[in-house]
Amino acid sequence: MDRRPSSPSTGEALLFLTDEQLRQGIEAMFFAYRGFTADPDRILGDMAYGRAHHRAIHFIGRAPGTTVNNLLNILGVTKQSLNRVLRTLIADGLVESKVGRQDKRERHLNLTEAGRTLEQTLSDAQRARMRSAFRDAGPEAVAGFRTVLEAMMDGEMRSSYSRLKDSAS
């Protein structure tokens, strides 16, 4: 049912997307995201940390010296939410916060040695799954994967994503 053939009307290859195809995309996204977070969640479950800590550590490791405000924009949470997480990470010696030199209002965040170690542990698990998925799927599929995901982002997130991508030249 609902299986129309693609009848191109214009020169452009217009995609005829049935609700069923879109639904499958939605469900694929749901199940895959569960797999995506499963490994770090398992590791974090044993500690006193959760997914929020993982995200903070990831992006601090990714953009060392970033400010609280910048991190806030990337993560898309409120400062109260982030602060709770950062407070524990700093208290536990995984993250250090230094007052800015030019602008003393800012705090620049960096991972400590211990923080980098945890970041590695968590990322290794997640990267292993991503690597395995990429290998299984092949290079063309990976390119498509990234194209669709980029198209699915909101504008601001796409900016954050690109900025991070380009910064790691």
Closest CA to 42 of 58, 57, 60, 54: 54
CB 76 within 8 A of CB 162: no
| φ, ψ of residue 99 in degrees (nearest 5) | -65, 135
Alpha-carbon distances, residue 105 vs 35, 100, 129 (angstroms):
40, 7, 40
- Choose the one of a second copy, DNA, none that binds residue 67, judging by a C-beta under 5 to 8 angstroms depending on kind: DNA
Q: If binding is defined by CB under 8 A, does position 132 make contact with a second copy? A: yes
Q: Which of 19, 46, 103, 166 binds DNA (CB under 7 A)?
A: 103
Site string for DNA, 11-50 (x = CB under 7 A): -------------------------------------xxx
CB of 157 vs a second copy, minimal distance in Å: 4
Interaction of residue 17 with a second copy, rule CB under 8 A:
yes
